[in-house]
Amino acid sequence: MKKFAALLLALVLLVTLSSCSKPDDKQAMLKIGIIQFAEHGSLDNCRQGFIEGLAEAGYVEGQNVTFNVQNAQADIAIASQIASTLVDVEKCDMICAIATPAAQAAYNYAQDKKIPVIYTAITDPIGASLANADKTNPGEITGTSDLLAVEAQMKMIRALMPDAKTIGILHTTSETNNTMPLNLYKELAPTYGFEIVDKGIAAGADIPLALDALLPQVDCISNLTDNTVVSYLSVVLEKAKAAGKPVFGSEIEQVKLGCVAAEGIEYLELGRQTGRMAAKVLKGEATAAKIPFETIANSYLYINKDAMATYGIQLPADLADRAIDVLAK
């Protein structure tokens, strides 16, 4: 009887130990899908920052979380397909959506399944129907906005180009993230002595012809956070240089690639902020529905001295103290 009892106890211990090892580890491994709408520097930085922000909060890839990273290559249809797969096939525990079309696609598929969507790099969450007019969330979705510092950008352009009269803006008509900043440009332009000339495109292939029409009408170009346009930035810079018209970016990576300057936010930090918000949801501290979307208020002046020299642009003394030279080692 004693031998039987000892054998039974050993069996119970074996079952208990095995149930506390690998199966639990698998259950603890969270699956987070990441939909990045396009491949360019600012969105890459958002993705990296998001992963870093989660790691700061204890969610480390390979330890307790795995990431399924997908890129839609600036194609709304592909973004929708990715979202469907992450929700219905991969059955992710959370989706991080980077840029407005990705967030709209993710929430469209995830909302009925109650899978939280955490977005980043969304210019206008309310205009994109990702937040309500009173800034509450429509469901299990929240995140961060990268609304441009439009007035700061216009002040900077005026300081660098005191004789400029017209600013050209190229924008993709299907990207709703363009609506608010474009309206702000038009609203504020008279205050700073500018006229805005904008040109809409349907796809990246339209950019060369659109620039041929736009560049003769303007003194410079200023970029929005338009994913399609930024994905074709090399084309924009090449054609603008041939026309002798400087291009102002909307964030640091565009300035590194050849834009003259930008009043932009730090996208790595925006991503980290988003990751910290996601961690609160994963820890059960709050649901995504109850966390208001957030913005980064500070902008930074990034300059490319080589590009400025190309166009004979001088940096005024009153901007020198805060200017960040992207080419500085």
Q: Would the pLDDT of 10 be above 80?
A: no
Q: Return phi, psi of residue 275, to 5°.
A: -60, -40
Distance CA 161, CA 246 (A): 10
50: helix, coil or strand? helix
In a domain, 136, yes or no: yes
Look up residue 199 and give its two tokens.
């040109």
Whether residue 82 is found in the same domain as residue 107: yes
Whether residue 132 is found in the same domain as residue 87: yes
In a domain, 1, yes or no: no
Answer yes or no: are the C-beta atoms of 42 and 256 closer than 8 Å.
no
Q: Would the pLDDT of 27 be above 70?
A: no
Distance CA 42, CA 54 (A): 18
Strand partners, 302: 262, 324
- For residue 40, name the pLDDT band (cuts at 50, 70, 90): confident
Look up residue 168 and give its two tokens.
């050209």
Distance CA 50, CA 55 (A): 9
- pLDDT at residue number 311: 97
Give how far Cα 34 sits from Cα of 31, 50, 82, 85, 264, Å. Answer: 10, 10, 9, 12, 24
Distance CA 61, CA 29 (A): 9
- For residue 270, name the pLDDT band (cuts at 50, 70, 90): very high
- pLDDT at residue number 32: 98
Whether residue 87 is found in the same domain as residue 124: yes
Q: What is the pLDDT of residues 195-247, one digit of tens each?
A: 999 999 999 999 999 999 999 999 999 999 999 999 999 999 999 999 999 99
Distance CA 181, CA 302 (A): 19
Whether residue 139 is found in the same domain as residue 287: yes
- pLDDT at residue number 315: 95
- pLDDT at residue number 1: 45
Give the count of domains, the chain. Answer: 2
In a domain, 111, yes or no: yes
Answer yes or no: are the C-beta atoms of 269 and 120 closer than 8 Å.
no
Q: Which residue has the higher pLDDT, 154 or 18?
A: 154
Distance CA 18, CA 284 (A): 27
- For residue 15, name the pLDDT band (cuts at 50, 70, 90): very low
Answer yes or no: are the C-beta atoms of 103 and 119 closer than 8 Å.
yes
Strand partners, 180: none
Whether residue 280 is found in the same domain as residue 309: no
In a domain, 87, yes or no: yes
- pLDDT at residue number 329: 63
Q: What is the pLDDT of residues 177-189, one digit of tens each?
A: 899 999 999 999 9
Whether residue 178 is found in the same domain as residue 254: yes
CATH of the domain at 289: 3.40.50.2300
Look up residue 43 and give its two tokens.
């969105």
- pLDDT at residue number 129: 95
Domain of residue 257 covers 150-264+299-325
- For residue 296, name the pLDDT band (cuts at 50, 70, 90): confident
